[in-house]
Chain A
Amino acid sequence: MLDIQNLNIWYRGIHAVKGIDVSIDKGEIVTLIGANGAGKSSTIRAIAGLVRGFKGYIGYSRSQGKPVRLNGRQPEEMVKMGIALSPEGRRILPQLTAEENLRLGAYTRDDKEEIARDIDYVYDLFPRLKERRSQKGGTLSGGEQQMLAVGRALMSRPDLLMLDEPSLGLAPMLVGEVFDIIREINRQGKTILLVEQNAFAALKIAHKAYVLEVGTITIQGTGEELLQDPRVKDAYLGG
Protein backbone atom coordinates (compact mmCIF):
# COMPACT_ATOMS: atom_id res chain seq x y z
CA MET A 1 0.00 0.00 0.00
CA LEU A 2 2.82 2.37 0.88
CA ASP A 3 6.31 1.97 -0.46
CA ILE A 4 9.13 4.26 0.66
CA GLN A 5 12.50 3.95 -1.00
CA ASN A 6 15.67 5.76 -0.08
CA LEU A 7 13.93 8.62 1.73
CA ASN A 8 16.27 11.49 2.61
CA ILE A 9 15.27 14.60 4.51
CA TRP A 10 17.44 17.62 5.18
CA TYR A 11 16.71 20.67 7.30
CA ARG A 12 19.14 23.52 6.66
CA GLY A 13 22.09 21.19 6.49
CA ILE A 14 20.90 18.69 9.11
CA HIS A 15 20.57 15.32 7.44
CA ALA A 16 17.61 14.11 9.53
CA VAL A 17 16.56 11.02 7.56
CA LYS A 18 19.31 9.17 5.72
CA GLY A 19 17.96 6.95 3.00
CA ILE A 20 15.42 4.70 4.64
CA ASP A 21 13.14 2.08 3.08
CA VAL A 22 9.77 1.29 4.60
CA SER A 23 6.95 -0.76 3.18
CA ILE A 24 3.42 -1.12 4.47
CA ASP A 25 0.94 -3.68 3.27
CA LYS A 26 -2.79 -3.25 3.36
CA GLY A 27 -4.34 -4.20 6.67
CA GLU A 28 -1.11 -4.03 8.65
CA ILE A 29 -0.09 -2.11 11.72
CA VAL A 30 3.42 -0.92 11.07
CA THR A 31 5.36 0.87 13.76
CA LEU A 32 8.36 3.14 13.65
CA ILE A 33 10.16 3.35 16.97
CA GLY A 34 13.28 5.21 18.03
CA ALA A 35 14.73 7.78 20.36
CA ASN A 36 14.12 11.51 20.30
CA GLY A 37 15.29 13.13 17.11
CA ALA A 38 15.64 9.83 15.27
CA GLY A 39 13.57 11.13 12.36
CA LYS A 40 10.26 9.39 13.01
CA SER A 41 8.07 12.47 12.77
CA SER A 42 10.02 13.71 9.76
CA THR A 43 9.25 10.47 7.95
CA ILE A 44 5.56 10.49 8.75
CA ARG A 45 5.29 14.19 7.91
CA ALA A 46 6.95 13.61 4.57
CA ILE A 47 4.29 11.03 3.73
CA ALA A 48 1.57 13.52 4.75
CA GLY A 49 3.01 16.15 2.41
CA LEU A 50 4.26 18.49 5.11
CA VAL A 51 7.96 18.26 4.26
CA ARG A 52 9.16 20.20 1.24
CA GLY A 53 12.01 19.02 -0.89
CA PHE A 54 12.85 15.58 0.43
CA LYS A 55 14.62 13.09 -1.79
CA GLY A 56 13.60 9.54 -2.56
CA TYR A 57 10.43 7.79 -3.61
CA ILE A 58 7.11 7.49 -1.82
CA GLY A 59 4.59 5.38 -3.68
CA TYR A 60 1.02 4.79 -2.58
CA SER A 61 -1.75 2.63 -3.90
CA ARG A 62 -5.17 2.97 -2.41
CA SER A 63 -6.62 -0.31 -3.57
CA GLN A 64 -5.21 -2.78 -6.09
CA GLY A 65 -4.34 -0.08 -8.62
CA LYS A 66 -0.94 1.09 -9.80
CA PRO A 67 0.96 3.01 -7.13
CA VAL A 68 1.07 6.79 -7.48
CA ARG A 69 4.04 8.89 -6.53
CA LEU A 70 3.29 11.06 -3.51
CA ASN A 71 6.36 13.30 -3.81
CA GLY A 72 5.53 16.98 -4.08
CA ARG A 73 1.82 16.73 -3.36
CA GLN A 74 0.03 19.05 -0.97
CA PRO A 75 -1.24 17.74 2.38
CA GLU A 76 -4.85 18.44 1.45
CA GLU A 77 -4.44 16.19 -1.58
CA MET A 78 -3.20 13.35 0.61
CA VAL A 79 -6.36 13.49 2.68
CA LYS A 80 -8.45 13.11 -0.46
CA MET A 81 -6.30 10.13 -1.43
CA GLY A 82 -7.12 8.39 1.83
CA ILE A 83 -4.13 9.23 4.03
CA ALA A 84 -4.78 10.89 7.38
CA LEU A 85 -2.33 11.99 10.06
CA SER A 86 -2.92 12.54 13.72
CA PRO A 87 0.06 14.81 14.30
CA GLU A 88 2.58 14.82 17.12
CA GLY A 89 1.40 16.99 19.99
CA ARG A 90 -2.25 16.43 19.03
CA ARG A 91 -2.73 19.86 17.48
CA ILE A 92 -6.34 20.16 18.54
CA LEU A 93 -7.85 23.48 17.51
CA PRO A 94 -8.30 25.07 20.91
CA GLN A 95 -11.16 27.45 20.11
CA LEU A 96 -13.29 24.94 18.24
CA THR A 97 -15.50 22.55 20.14
CA ALA A 98 -14.66 18.86 20.26
CA GLU A 99 -17.38 18.18 17.73
CA GLU A 100 -16.23 20.98 15.43
CA ASN A 101 -12.77 19.43 15.51
CA LEU A 102 -14.32 16.19 14.32
CA ARG A 103 -16.30 17.97 11.62
CA LEU A 104 -13.11 19.60 10.43
CA GLY A 105 -11.65 16.12 10.10
CA ALA A 106 -14.49 15.34 7.69
CA TYR A 107 -13.83 18.47 5.64
CA THR A 108 -13.25 16.64 2.36
CA ARG A 109 -16.56 14.84 2.62
CA ASP A 110 -20.07 15.97 1.75
CA ASP A 111 -22.19 13.01 2.83
CA LYS A 112 -23.97 14.56 5.79
CA GLU A 113 -25.65 11.44 7.14
CA GLU A 114 -22.51 9.37 6.89
CA ILE A 115 -20.54 12.09 8.67
CA ALA A 116 -23.09 12.06 11.48
CA ARG A 117 -22.74 8.29 11.64
CA ASP A 118 -18.95 8.53 11.79
CA ILE A 119 -19.14 11.09 14.58
CA ASP A 120 -21.25 8.60 16.51
CA TYR A 121 -18.71 5.92 15.67
CA VAL A 122 -15.91 8.05 17.16
CA TYR A 123 -18.05 8.67 20.24
CA ASP A 124 -18.51 4.91 20.53
CA LEU A 125 -14.76 4.40 20.39
CA PHE A 126 -14.15 7.21 22.89
CA PRO A 127 -17.24 7.66 25.06
CA ARG A 128 -15.53 10.43 27.04
CA LEU A 129 -15.56 12.61 23.92
CA LYS A 130 -19.30 12.40 23.69
CA GLU A 131 -19.68 14.01 27.10
CA ARG A 132 -17.27 16.74 26.01
CA ARG A 133 -18.69 17.28 22.54
CA SER A 134 -19.55 20.97 22.94
CA GLN A 135 -16.56 21.81 25.09
CA LYS A 136 -13.77 23.89 23.52
CA GLY A 137 -10.86 21.72 22.39
CA GLY A 138 -8.40 23.77 24.41
CA THR A 139 -10.18 22.94 27.65
CA LEU A 140 -9.98 19.16 27.17
CA SER A 141 -7.46 17.18 29.18
CA GLY A 142 -4.35 15.91 27.41
CA GLY A 143 -5.77 12.42 27.17
CA GLU A 144 -9.09 13.62 25.82
CA GLN A 145 -7.26 15.74 23.26
CA GLN A 146 -5.30 12.71 22.16
CA MET A 147 -8.50 10.71 21.68
CA LEU A 148 -9.96 13.62 19.78
CA ALA A 149 -6.89 13.80 17.54
CA VAL A 150 -7.22 10.11 16.67
CA GLY A 151 -10.96 10.45 16.17
CA ARG A 152 -10.48 13.50 14.00
CA ALA A 153 -8.03 11.65 11.77
CA LEU A 154 -10.61 8.88 11.35
CA MET A 155 -13.25 11.35 10.18
CA SER A 156 -11.84 11.56 6.66
CA ARG A 157 -12.37 7.78 6.36
CA PRO A 158 -8.73 7.15 5.53
CA ASP A 159 -7.35 3.89 4.23
CA LEU A 160 -4.00 4.66 5.80
CA LEU A 161 -4.16 6.12 9.28
CA MET A 162 -0.92 7.61 10.56
CA LEU A 163 -0.53 8.27 14.27
CA ASP A 164 2.43 10.24 15.60
CA GLU A 165 2.94 9.33 19.26
CA PRO A 166 -0.68 8.75 20.31
CA SER A 167 0.48 7.74 23.80
CA LEU A 168 2.38 10.98 24.43
CA GLY A 169 1.51 12.36 27.84
CA LEU A 170 -1.09 9.72 28.65
CA ALA A 171 -1.45 8.02 32.03
CA PRO A 172 -0.31 4.35 31.87
CA MET A 173 -3.87 3.11 32.15
CA LEU A 174 -5.01 5.24 29.29
CA VAL A 175 -2.09 4.07 27.12
CA GLY A 176 -3.43 0.54 27.23
CA GLU A 177 -6.89 1.77 26.37
CA VAL A 178 -5.71 3.81 23.39
CA PHE A 179 -3.64 0.93 22.02
CA ASP A 180 -6.61 -1.42 22.34
CA ILE A 181 -8.60 1.03 20.30
CA ILE A 182 -5.86 1.30 17.69
CA ARG A 183 -5.92 -2.48 17.35
CA GLU A 184 -9.71 -2.38 17.07
CA ILE A 185 -9.56 0.26 14.33
CA ASN A 186 -7.07 -1.95 12.50
CA ARG A 187 -9.37 -5.01 12.81
CA GLN A 188 -12.11 -2.97 11.18
CA GLY A 189 -9.91 -2.70 8.12
CA LYS A 190 -7.66 0.32 8.41
CA THR A 191 -3.97 0.16 7.69
CA ILE A 192 -2.00 1.93 10.39
CA LEU A 193 1.41 3.54 10.56
CA LEU A 194 2.27 4.15 14.18
CA VAL A 195 5.15 6.27 15.39
CA GLU A 196 5.93 5.67 19.04
CA GLN A 197 8.29 6.25 21.93
CA ASN A 198 6.45 3.64 23.94
CA ALA A 199 8.18 0.76 22.16
CA PHE A 200 6.70 -2.01 24.26
CA ALA A 201 3.08 -1.08 23.68
CA ALA A 202 3.69 -0.38 19.99
CA LEU A 203 5.57 -3.64 19.31
CA LYS A 204 2.85 -5.64 21.02
CA ILE A 205 0.23 -4.59 18.50
CA ALA A 206 2.47 -4.19 15.42
CA HIS A 207 2.64 -6.66 12.57
CA LYS A 208 5.85 -5.08 11.36
CA ALA A 209 8.30 -2.74 13.04
CA TYR A 210 11.28 -0.56 12.21
CA VAL A 211 13.83 0.87 14.61
CA LEU A 212 15.11 4.25 13.56
CA GLU A 213 18.40 5.58 14.95
CA VAL A 214 19.63 9.02 13.95
CA GLY A 215 18.01 8.82 10.56
CA THR A 216 18.86 5.23 9.70
CA ILE A 217 16.88 2.02 10.07
CA THR A 218 18.99 -0.32 12.21
CA ILE A 219 16.58 -3.14 12.99
CA GLN A 220 13.43 -4.38 11.36
CA GLY A 221 11.13 -7.37 11.66
CA THR A 222 7.79 -8.42 13.01
CA GLY A 223 6.57 -6.88 16.25
CA GLU A 224 7.10 -10.21 17.97
CA GLU A 225 10.69 -10.54 16.67
CA LEU A 226 11.63 -7.09 17.86
CA LEU A 227 10.13 -7.69 21.28
CA GLN A 228 12.56 -10.60 21.62
CA ASP A 229 15.53 -8.86 20.01
CA PRO A 230 18.23 -8.27 22.66
CA ARG A 231 19.31 -4.97 21.09
CA VAL A 232 15.73 -3.69 21.22
CA LYS A 233 15.30 -5.00 24.75
CA ASP A 234 18.45 -3.22 25.80
CA ALA A 235 17.84 0.14 24.21
CA TYR A 236 14.06 0.52 24.12
CA LEU A 237 12.43 -1.86 26.55
CA GLY A 238 14.47 -0.99 29.59
CA GLY A 239 16.67 -4.14 29.61
Chain B
Amino acid sequence: MSLNMFVQHFINALGLGALYGLIAIGYTMVYGILRLINFAHGDIFMLGAYFVFFATIQFKLPWGIGVAIAIAGATLCGLLVDRIAYRPLRSAPRISALISAIGVSFFLENLSVVVFTGMPRAVVQPPWLMHPILIKSPSFGEIRLIPLGLMVPVISFLIVGGLLWIVHRTKPGLAMRSISYDIETTRLMGVSVDRIIALTFALGSALAALAGIMWALRYPRVEPFMGIFPGFKAFIAAVFGGIGSIPGAMIGGLALGFVEIMSIAFFPRLSGYKDAFAFVLLIVILLVKPTGLMGERLEEKI
Protein backbone atom coordinates (compact mmCIF):
# COMPACT_ATOMS: atom_id res chain seq x y z
CA MET B 1 0.00 0.00 0.00
CA SER B 2 1.29 3.46 -0.84
CA LEU B 3 1.96 5.92 1.92
CA ASN B 4 -0.68 8.37 0.83
CA MET B 5 -3.33 5.66 0.84
CA PHE B 6 -2.20 4.67 4.27
CA VAL B 7 -2.58 8.22 5.59
CA GLN B 8 -6.08 8.35 4.16
CA HIS B 9 -7.02 5.13 5.86
CA PHE B 10 -5.39 6.30 9.05
CA ILE B 11 -7.53 9.43 9.20
CA ASN B 12 -10.58 7.42 8.28
CA ALA B 13 -9.89 4.98 11.10
CA LEU B 14 -9.29 7.83 13.53
CA GLY B 15 -12.72 9.23 12.68
CA LEU B 16 -14.59 5.95 12.93
CA GLY B 17 -12.72 5.02 16.09
CA ALA B 18 -13.45 8.37 17.71
CA LEU B 19 -17.16 7.87 17.03
CA TYR B 20 -17.11 4.40 18.59
CA GLY B 21 -15.24 5.96 21.48
CA LEU B 22 -17.83 8.70 21.98
CA ILE B 23 -20.63 6.14 22.14
CA ALA B 24 -18.56 3.82 24.31
CA ILE B 25 -18.11 6.53 26.92
CA GLY B 26 -21.85 6.58 27.61
CA TYR B 27 -21.87 2.82 28.16
CA THR B 28 -18.84 2.91 30.37
CA MET B 29 -20.06 5.78 32.55
CA VAL B 30 -23.46 4.25 33.18
CA TYR B 31 -21.98 0.82 33.77
CA GLY B 32 -19.37 2.29 36.10
CA ILE B 33 -22.06 3.77 38.30
CA LEU B 34 -25.01 1.40 38.06
CA ARG B 35 -23.45 -1.84 36.77
CA LEU B 36 -26.09 -1.61 34.08
CA ILE B 37 -25.65 -2.14 30.36
CA ASN B 38 -27.80 0.62 28.97
CA PHE B 39 -29.05 -1.10 25.84
CA ALA B 40 -31.01 1.98 24.88
CA HIS B 41 -27.78 3.92 24.42
CA GLY B 42 -27.45 3.02 20.73
CA ASP B 43 -30.98 4.26 20.21
CA ILE B 44 -30.16 7.63 21.76
CA PHE B 45 -27.40 7.79 19.14
CA MET B 46 -30.02 7.06 16.48
CA LEU B 47 -32.37 9.73 17.87
CA GLY B 48 -29.57 12.29 17.80
CA ALA B 49 -29.06 11.55 14.11
CA TYR B 50 -32.80 11.78 13.37
CA PHE B 51 -33.23 15.01 15.27
CA VAL B 52 -30.45 16.70 13.36
CA PHE B 53 -31.91 15.36 10.11
CA PHE B 54 -35.32 16.83 10.83
CA ALA B 55 -33.96 20.11 12.16
CA THR B 56 -31.65 20.82 9.24
CA ILE B 57 -33.26 19.07 6.29
CA GLN B 58 -36.98 19.15 7.03
CA PHE B 59 -37.06 22.44 8.90
CA LYS B 60 -34.10 24.01 7.11
CA LEU B 61 -32.52 25.30 10.30
CA PRO B 62 -28.85 26.21 10.18
CA TRP B 63 -26.54 23.33 11.14
CA GLY B 64 -25.33 24.94 14.34
CA ILE B 65 -28.86 25.27 15.68
CA GLY B 66 -29.83 21.84 14.38
CA VAL B 67 -26.93 20.22 16.21
CA ALA B 68 -27.82 22.04 19.43
CA ILE B 69 -31.45 20.95 19.16
CA ALA B 70 -30.51 17.36 18.36
CA ILE B 71 -28.15 17.11 21.32
CA ALA B 72 -30.66 18.71 23.66
CA GLY B 73 -33.47 16.45 22.40
CA ALA B 74 -31.48 13.24 22.66
CA THR B 75 -30.20 14.22 26.10
CA LEU B 76 -33.76 14.72 27.23
CA CYS B 77 -34.65 11.28 25.87
CA GLY B 78 -31.71 9.75 27.76
CA LEU B 79 -32.88 11.41 30.97
CA LEU B 80 -36.42 10.12 30.42
CA VAL B 81 -35.14 6.59 29.87
CA ASP B 82 -33.35 6.73 33.20
CA ARG B 83 -36.31 8.29 34.99
CA ILE B 84 -38.95 5.96 33.61
CA ALA B 85 -37.18 2.68 32.94
CA TYR B 86 -34.26 2.50 35.38
CA ARG B 87 -34.83 4.65 38.42
CA PRO B 88 -37.88 2.71 39.67
CA LEU B 89 -35.69 -0.41 39.55
CA ARG B 90 -32.71 0.97 41.47
CA SER B 91 -33.11 -1.38 44.39
CA ALA B 92 -34.44 -4.29 42.34
CA PRO B 93 -32.11 -7.12 41.31
CA ARG B 94 -29.75 -6.04 38.57
CA ILE B 95 -31.28 -8.39 36.03
CA SER B 96 -34.58 -6.45 36.20
CA ALA B 97 -32.93 -3.24 35.08
CA LEU B 98 -31.15 -5.15 32.33
CA ILE B 99 -34.42 -6.55 31.01
CA SER B 100 -35.93 -3.10 31.25
CA ALA B 101 -32.99 -1.77 29.21
CA ILE B 102 -33.60 -4.30 26.45
CA GLY B 103 -37.30 -3.42 26.50
CA VAL B 104 -36.60 0.30 26.21
CA SER B 105 -34.28 -0.34 23.30
CA PHE B 106 -36.90 -2.29 21.36
CA PHE B 107 -39.47 0.33 22.27
CA LEU B 108 -37.40 3.22 20.96
CA GLU B 109 -36.52 1.42 17.74
CA ASN B 110 -40.09 0.45 16.99
CA LEU B 111 -41.47 3.80 18.04
CA SER B 112 -39.02 5.34 15.58
CA VAL B 113 -40.32 3.06 12.83
CA VAL B 114 -43.83 4.26 13.56
CA VAL B 115 -42.96 7.93 13.88
CA PHE B 116 -40.17 8.32 11.30
CA THR B 117 -41.18 5.33 9.08
CA GLY B 118 -38.70 2.53 8.53
CA MET B 119 -37.50 4.02 5.27
CA PRO B 120 -33.88 5.22 5.32
CA ARG B 121 -33.56 8.90 4.57
CA ALA B 122 -30.64 10.62 2.93
CA VAL B 123 -28.81 13.30 4.85
CA VAL B 124 -27.66 16.23 2.74
CA GLN B 125 -24.21 17.16 3.91
CA PRO B 126 -23.29 20.84 4.06
CA PRO B 127 -20.95 21.36 1.10
CA TRP B 128 -18.20 23.09 3.09
CA LEU B 129 -17.71 19.92 5.11
CA MET B 130 -17.17 17.87 1.97
CA HIS B 131 -15.00 20.23 -0.01
CA PRO B 132 -11.80 18.29 -0.67
CA ILE B 133 -8.48 19.62 0.45
CA LEU B 134 -5.50 18.37 -1.53
CA ILE B 135 -2.19 18.07 0.21
CA LYS B 136 0.69 17.47 -2.17
CA SER B 137 4.06 16.46 -0.90
CA PRO B 138 7.03 15.25 -2.88
CA SER B 139 7.76 12.52 -0.36
CA PHE B 140 4.43 10.73 -0.33
CA GLY B 141 2.42 12.10 -3.16
CA GLU B 142 -1.10 13.43 -2.98
CA ILE B 143 -3.51 13.17 -0.05
CA ARG B 144 -7.13 14.09 -0.44
CA LEU B 145 -8.92 15.11 2.73
CA ILE B 146 -12.33 16.53 3.50
CA PRO B 147 -12.95 18.85 6.45
CA LEU B 148 -15.46 16.37 7.89
CA GLY B 149 -12.79 13.69 8.09
CA LEU B 150 -10.61 15.91 10.25
CA MET B 151 -13.42 17.49 12.19
CA VAL B 152 -14.80 14.25 13.60
CA PRO B 153 -11.69 13.16 15.50
CA VAL B 154 -10.78 16.70 16.55
CA ILE B 155 -14.22 17.43 18.01
CA SER B 156 -14.34 14.03 19.64
CA PHE B 157 -11.01 14.43 21.38
CA LEU B 158 -11.86 17.94 22.57
CA ILE B 159 -15.14 16.71 24.01
CA VAL B 160 -13.47 13.81 25.77
CA GLY B 161 -10.93 16.22 27.23
CA GLY B 162 -13.77 18.37 28.55
CA LEU B 163 -15.51 15.34 29.98
CA LEU B 164 -12.37 14.19 31.77
CA TRP B 165 -12.08 17.66 33.21
CA ILE B 166 -15.65 17.46 34.53
CA VAL B 167 -15.10 14.04 36.04
CA HIS B 168 -11.76 14.82 37.67
CA ARG B 169 -11.93 18.51 38.50
CA THR B 170 -15.51 19.35 39.47
CA LYS B 171 -17.73 18.53 42.41
CA PRO B 172 -20.34 16.56 40.46
CA GLY B 173 -17.44 14.67 38.89
CA LEU B 174 -16.12 13.80 42.33
CA ALA B 175 -19.57 12.53 43.26
CA MET B 176 -19.71 10.43 40.08
CA ARG B 177 -16.42 8.75 40.86
CA SER B 178 -17.51 8.23 44.41
CA ILE B 179 -20.88 6.69 43.51
CA SER B 180 -19.21 4.15 41.29
CA TYR B 181 -17.37 2.74 44.33
CA ASP B 182 -19.92 3.03 47.10
CA ILE B 183 -23.39 4.49 46.73
CA GLU B 184 -24.32 4.36 50.39
CA THR B 185 -21.24 6.18 51.62
CA THR B 186 -21.66 8.77 48.88
CA ARG B 187 -25.15 9.48 50.17
CA LEU B 188 -23.75 9.84 53.68
CA MET B 189 -21.63 12.68 52.32
CA GLY B 190 -24.75 14.58 51.32
CA VAL B 191 -24.80 13.69 47.62
CA SER B 192 -28.22 13.32 45.96
CA VAL B 193 -27.37 10.16 44.11
CA ASP B 194 -30.30 10.21 41.70
CA ARG B 195 -29.30 13.67 40.54
CA ILE B 196 -25.73 12.57 39.84
CA ILE B 197 -26.97 9.48 38.01
CA ALA B 198 -29.22 11.72 35.91
CA LEU B 199 -26.22 13.91 35.12
CA THR B 200 -24.34 10.82 34.02
CA PHE B 201 -27.13 9.82 31.67
CA ALA B 202 -27.30 13.37 30.36
CA LEU B 203 -23.59 13.52 29.58
CA GLY B 204 -23.56 10.05 28.02
CA SER B 205 -26.62 10.82 25.91
CA ALA B 206 -25.20 14.13 24.73
CA LEU B 207 -22.05 12.35 23.58
CA ALA B 208 -24.07 9.62 21.86
CA ALA B 209 -26.16 12.26 20.10
CA LEU B 210 -23.03 14.08 18.96
CA ALA B 211 -21.68 10.79 17.65
CA GLY B 212 -25.02 10.12 15.91
CA ILE B 213 -24.89 13.49 14.22
CA MET B 214 -21.36 13.00 12.96
CA TRP B 215 -22.19 9.46 11.91
CA ALA B 216 -25.13 10.75 9.88
CA LEU B 217 -22.76 13.16 8.16
CA ARG B 218 -20.17 10.49 7.41
CA TYR B 219 -22.56 7.84 6.16
CA PRO B 220 -25.18 10.24 4.95
CA ARG B 221 -28.44 8.55 5.91
CA VAL B 222 -30.61 7.86 8.93
CA GLU B 223 -32.84 4.89 9.71
CA PRO B 224 -34.45 3.56 12.90
CA PHE B 225 -32.08 0.63 13.39
CA MET B 226 -28.88 2.51 12.65
CA GLY B 227 -27.93 2.52 16.35
CA ILE B 228 -27.82 -1.22 16.83
CA PHE B 229 -24.47 -2.14 15.30
CA PRO B 230 -22.55 0.98 16.29
CA GLY B 231 -24.05 0.47 19.75
CA PHE B 232 -22.90 -3.13 19.96
CA LYS B 233 -19.47 -2.28 18.73
CA ALA B 234 -19.11 0.68 21.05
CA PHE B 235 -20.10 -1.55 23.95
CA ILE B 236 -17.41 -3.97 22.91
CA ALA B 237 -15.00 -1.04 22.69
CA ALA B 238 -15.93 -0.11 26.27
CA VAL B 239 -15.28 -3.67 27.45
CA PHE B 240 -12.05 -3.77 25.47
CA GLY B 241 -10.82 -0.54 27.01
CA GLY B 242 -11.87 -1.61 30.48
CA ILE B 243 -15.44 -0.94 31.44
CA GLY B 244 -15.77 2.01 33.82
CA SER B 245 -12.78 3.84 32.36
CA ILE B 246 -13.42 6.88 30.17
CA PRO B 247 -9.96 6.98 28.54
CA GLY B 248 -10.32 3.22 28.15
CA ALA B 249 -13.57 3.66 26.22
CA MET B 250 -11.89 6.10 23.82
CA ILE B 251 -8.88 3.84 23.38
CA GLY B 252 -11.15 0.84 22.84
CA GLY B 253 -13.13 2.79 20.26
CA LEU B 254 -9.98 3.82 18.42
CA ALA B 255 -8.64 0.27 18.51
CA LEU B 256 -11.84 -1.00 16.99
CA GLY B 257 -11.88 1.73 14.35
CA PHE B 258 -8.35 0.86 13.35
CA VAL B 259 -8.94 -2.87 13.24
CA GLU B 260 -12.02 -2.41 11.08
CA ILE B 261 -10.59 0.09 8.62
CA MET B 262 -7.08 -1.31 8.36
CA SER B 263 -8.00 -4.93 7.97
CA ILE B 264 -10.23 -4.06 5.06
CA ALA B 265 -7.60 -1.73 3.64
CA PHE B 266 -4.97 -4.44 3.71
CA PHE B 267 -7.24 -7.39 2.98
CA PRO B 268 -10.09 -6.08 0.83
CA ARG B 269 -11.52 -9.57 0.55
CA LEU B 270 -12.39 -9.45 4.25
CA SER B 271 -14.75 -6.53 3.81
CA GLY B 272 -17.78 -8.81 4.08
CA TYR B 273 -16.69 -9.71 7.61
CA LYS B 274 -16.14 -6.18 8.83
CA ASP B 275 -18.82 -6.38 11.50
CA ALA B 276 -17.26 -9.53 12.90
CA PHE B 277 -13.91 -7.96 13.81
CA ALA B 278 -15.39 -6.32 16.88
CA PHE B 279 -16.44 -9.68 18.22
CA VAL B 280 -13.06 -11.21 17.53
CA LEU B 281 -11.50 -8.34 19.43
CA LEU B 282 -13.94 -8.95 22.28
CA ILE B 283 -13.09 -12.63 22.50
CA VAL B 284 -9.37 -11.95 22.41
CA ILE B 285 -9.47 -9.36 25.18
CA LEU B 286 -11.71 -11.48 27.35
CA LEU B 287 -9.25 -14.33 27.03
CA VAL B 288 -6.10 -12.28 27.54
CA LYS B 289 -7.13 -9.56 29.99
CA PRO B 290 -10.74 -9.91 31.12
CA THR B 291 -10.78 -6.52 32.84
CA GLY B 292 -9.96 -4.74 29.59
CA LEU B 293 -6.95 -2.61 28.78
CA MET B 294 -7.42 0.13 31.36
CA GLY B 295 -9.78 -1.78 33.60
CA GLU B 296 -9.42 -2.25 37.28
CA ARG B 297 -10.98 -5.18 38.98
CA LEU B 298 -14.51 -4.24 39.86
CA GLU B 299 -15.31 -5.40 43.32
CA GLU B 300 -18.81 -6.58 43.98
CA LYS B 301 -20.74 -3.69 45.38
CA ILE B 302 -21.46 -3.73 49.06
Residues of A bordering B, CB below 8 Å: 48, 50, 74-76, 79-80, 84-85, 87, 91, 93-96, 100, 103-105, 107-108, 152, 156
Task: Check: B185 CB closer than 8 A to any chain A CB.
Answer: yes
* Contact of B181 with A107 in the complex, beta carbons under 8 Å: no
Tell me whether A74 and B174 are in contact in the complex, defined as CB-CB below 8 angstroms, given that A91-B182, A93-B181, A94-B181 are known contacts. no
Decide yes or no: A79 and B189 within 8 Å by CB, A93-B178, A104-B174 being known contacts: yes
Is the beta-carbon distance between A104 and B189 smaller than 8 angstroms?
yes
Please indicate the chain B residues that have their CB under 8 angstroms from the CB of A105 in the complex. Answer: 189
Q: Does A156 contact B190, Cβ atoms closer than 8 Å?
A: yes
- Chain A residue nearest in CB terms to B171: A107
Interface of chain B, main secondary structure: helix
Q: Which of B178, B184, B190, B193 contacts A96 (CB 8 A)?
A: B178
- A108 lies within 8 A of B190 (CB): yes
Residues of A close to B187: CB separation below 8 A: 50, 74-76
Task: Give A91 to B190 CA distance when docked, in angstroms.
Answer: 15
Contact A79 B190 (CB under 8 A): yes
Considering the complex, give the chain A residue whose CB is closest to the CB of B302.
A91
* Closest B residue by C-beta to A84: B188
Instruction: Please tell me if B177 contacts chain A, counting CB pairs below 8 Å.
Output: yes
Q: Is A107 within 8 A of B191, CB to CB?
A: yes
Please pick, from A80, A95, A107, the residue contacting B177 in the complex, using a CB distance under 8 A: A95
Cβ–Cβ < 8 Å partners of A108 in chain B:
189-190
Do residues B190 and A107 form an inter-chain contact, with CB atoms below 8 A? yes
Q: How far is the CA of A74 from the CA of B184 in the complex (A)?
A: 11
A103 touches B174 (CB 8 A): yes
CB <8 Å contact, B190 and A76: yes
Per the 8 Å Cβ criterion, residues 153-202 of B in contact with A are 171, 174-175, 177-178, 181-182, 184-193
How distant is A116 from chain B, measured CB to nearest CB, in Å?
14
Question: Does A96 contact B177, Cβ atoms closer than 8 Å?
Answer: yes
A75 touches B188 (CB 8 A): yes
Listed residue (B181, B185, B186, B190) with the most chain A CB atoms within 10 angstroms of its CB? B190
14 A-B residue contacts at CB 8 Å? A50-B184, A76-B190, A79-B188, A84-B188, A87-B184, A93-B182, A94-B181, A96-B177, A96-B181, A104-B178, A107-B190, A107-B191, A156-B189, A156-B190
8 additional A-B pairs beyond A50-B188, A96-B181, beta carbons within 8 Å, are: A75-B187, A76-B191, A76-B193, A93-B185, A95-B181, A104-B174, A104-B186, A107-B171
- Complex CA gap A105/B174 in Å reads 11
Complex CA gap A104/B175 in Å reads 7
Contacts of B177 in A (CB 8 A): 93, 95-96
What's the Cα separation between A140 and B178 when bound, in Å? 17
User: CB-CB < 8 A to B175: which residues of A?
Assistant: 104, 107
> How many angstroms between the C-alpha atoms of A198 and B178 in the bound complex?
30
Contact residues, B257-295 vs A (CB, 8 A):
none
State the CA gap A84–B190 with chains docked (Å). Answer: 9
Bound CA–CA A107/B187 (angstroms): 10
B189 touches A107 (CB 8 A): yes
In the assembly, what is the distance between CA of A141 and CA of B171, in Å? 26
Q: What residues of chain A lie closer than 8 Å to B186, measured between beta carbons? A: 93, 104
B296 contacts which chain A residues (CB < 8 A)?
Answer: 95
Residues of chain B in range 188-220 having any CB-CB distance to chain A below 8 Å: 188-193
Query: When the two chains form their complex, are residues A80 and B190 in contact, meaning their CB atoms are under 8 A apart?
Result: yes
Least CB distance from A166 to B in Å reads 15
CB proximity of A68 to chain B, nearest CB, Å: 17
How many angstroms from the CA of A94 to the CA of B182 in the assembled complex? 10
